[in-house]
């Protein structure tokens, strides 16, 4: 009897044989399902609202095509991400361009390509955007990214809305920056943006931030007559990490926040702004599984059993960076009793390259078995490196029994493609 793990109609062990490992596998239908939930539960229910998929979580040409077809916008954070989106024929007017240190050249390209919104992260950026727009005879629509001074409960490296954050314009500088933006002829100030961080599991920090920003909106209306048309509350909606449990629905996050924005606007007699969200992880994390082949199995006397896989922090740096927790199954030995506890380690030359601690697996685990690590769709492929000259894995989409290669595995020659000799050979 076959005991292989199947995903979106595909046998994962067969996929590992066909494409090799490590391998990123994404369920296309699950990504589409998440986009459709956002459409039904947010965009359709709240008039004037928008959703931008945060490309930093996972961005390829194929992913851009799905986001486009699903009717969402796209959040890009660098010239490279913008370039990819434009190559994928993503409509520029549906793109928002973020980043705490966009270069002048990146801003010029964004203006030239008529990117829909530029989120301004620091004071000097408004002059750069204004100048770039003026030279092209255009008017750039901007949002000001505000640091709302809200501490979201998440790892400190992925917290961004607290006082002292490197992201956004400090609250006390907002009146000055608004006044200045309104005085520049080539800018169209649409409103504000905040982003509290990533992997936030509770909606309440968003409520706190809404309270802060709506007070700012009210003061700006009173002081300068500026009426906020758009409010972007960022992304960060968390997903379940360890066991294979299902994440909270999008309505868990957006419903109370929308209710609060409405209540605060009515309290301050402000018109309701058009509200945008920017989820990345929530859309792709659970859709992704990474397949590895098990290699060395090392029982340390009196201690743990290390089981090495053929990837590691090079394709998933998150456990080492943020102590992120993952869960896995042995894909070719499903349904067997799990009577052995192991530590899954990567093959990189770092003692910190530990993917999973205390994982229960069948006792007949052997080299050559296939390990499927769940919930690796977000910030794995996009944060992968070539440390130890390891080629980046291929990416395959599965869709109701079909598999589609969307990114080829890197070759050793790819790794040398940009290198030069200094002596004649």
Ligand X SMILES: Cc1ncc(COP(=O)(O)O)c(C=O)c1O
The binding site for ligand X (CB under 6 A) comprises 54, 56-57, 75, 98, 195, 198, 234-237, 278-282, 378
Compute CA distances 379 → 59, 68, 156, 286, 314, whole Å: 10, 20, 16, 12, 12
Closer to ligand X by Cβ: residue 147 or 198: 198
Q: Closest separation between CB of residue 278 and ligand X, Å?
A: 4
C-beta of residue 356 within 8 angstroms of C-beta of residue 344 = yes
- Helices 250-268 and 28-38 cross at an angle (nearest 10°) of 20
Q: How far apart are CA 336 and CA 355, in angstroms?
A: 22
* Residues contacting 358, CB < 8 A, separation 6+: 341, 343
Q: Closest separation between CB of residue 99 and ligand X, Å?
A: 9
C-beta of residue 236 within 8 angstroms of C-beta of residue 204 = no
Tokens at residue 258, please? 């929308």
Q: For tokens 């924005």, what's the residue? A: 261
Q: How far apart are CA 244 and CA 136, in angstroms?
A: 51
* Residues contacting 378, CB < 8 A, separation 6+: 57, 58, 239, 280, 281, 284, 285, 288
Closer to ligand X by Cβ: residue 20 or 33: 33
349: annotated active-site residue: yes
Q: Closest separation between CB of residue 38 and ligand X, Å?
A: 12
Q: Which of these is catalytic: 10, 35, 348, 349? A: 349
Closer to ligand X by Cβ: residue 168 or 273: 168
Q: Closest separation between CB of residue 66 and ligand X, Å?
A: 16
Closer to ligand X by Cβ: residue 70 or 403: 70
Closer to ligand X by Cβ: residue 19 or 52: 52
Tokens at residue 335, please? 């349904």
Closer to ligand X by Cβ: residue 237 or 292: 237
* Residues contacting 197, CB < 8 A, separation 6+: 152, 154, 158, 159, 160, 161, 236
Catalytic sites, residue numbers: 349
């Amino acid at each position: 009897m076959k005991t292989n793990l199947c995903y979106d109609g595909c046998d994962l062990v067969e996929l590992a044989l066909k494409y090799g490992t490590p391998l990123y596998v994404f369920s296309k239908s699950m990504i589409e399902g998440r986009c459709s939930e956002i459409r039904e539960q947010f965009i359709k229910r709240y008039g004037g609202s928008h959703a931008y998929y945060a490309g930093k979580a996972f961005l390829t040409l194929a992913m851009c095509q799905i986001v486009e077809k699903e009717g969402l916008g796209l959040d890009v954070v660098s010239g490279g991400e913008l370039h990819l989106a434009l190559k994928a024929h993503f409509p520029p007017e549906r793109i928002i361009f973020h980043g705490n240190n966009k270069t002048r050249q990146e801003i010029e390209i964004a203006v030239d390509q008529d990117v829909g919104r530029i989120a301004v992260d620091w004071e000097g950026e408004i002059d750069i955007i204004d100048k770039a727009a003026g030279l092209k005879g255009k008017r750039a629509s901007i949002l000001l990214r505000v640091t709302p001074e809200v501490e979201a409960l998440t790892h400190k490296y992925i917290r961004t809305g607290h006082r002292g954050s490197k992201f956004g314009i400090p609250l006390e500088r907002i009146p000055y920056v608004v006044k200045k933006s309104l005085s520049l002829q080539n800018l169209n100030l649409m409103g504000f943006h905040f982003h509290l961080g990533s992997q936030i599991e509770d909606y309440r920090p968003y409520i706190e931030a809404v309270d802060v920003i709506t007070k700012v909106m009210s003061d700006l209306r009173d002081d300068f007559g500026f009426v906020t048309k758009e409010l972007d509350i960022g992304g960060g909606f968390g997903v379940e990490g360890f066991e294979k449990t299902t994440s909270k629905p999008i309505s868990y996050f957006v419903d109370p926040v929308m209710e609060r924005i409405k209540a605060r606007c009515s309290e301050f007699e402000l018109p309701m702004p058009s509200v945008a969200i920017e989820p990345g992880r929530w859309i792709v994390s659970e859709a992704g599984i990474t397949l590895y082949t098990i290699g060395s199995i090392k029982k340390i006397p009196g201690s743990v059993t290390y089981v090495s896989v053929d990837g590691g922090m090079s394709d998933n740096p998150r456990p080492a960076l943020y102590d992120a927790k993952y869960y896995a199954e042995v894909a070719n030995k499903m349904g067997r009793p799990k009577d052995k506890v192991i530590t899954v380690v990567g093959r990189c030359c770092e003692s910190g390259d530990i993917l999973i601690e205390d994982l229960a697996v069948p006792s007949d685990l052997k080299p050559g078995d296939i390990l499927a690590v769940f919930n690796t769709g977000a910030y794995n492929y996009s944060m992968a490196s070539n440390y130890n000259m390891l080629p980046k894995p291929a990416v395959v989409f599965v869709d109701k029994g079909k598999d589609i290669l969307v990114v080829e595995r890197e070759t050793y020659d790819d790794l040398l493609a940009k290198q030069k000799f200094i002596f004649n050979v």
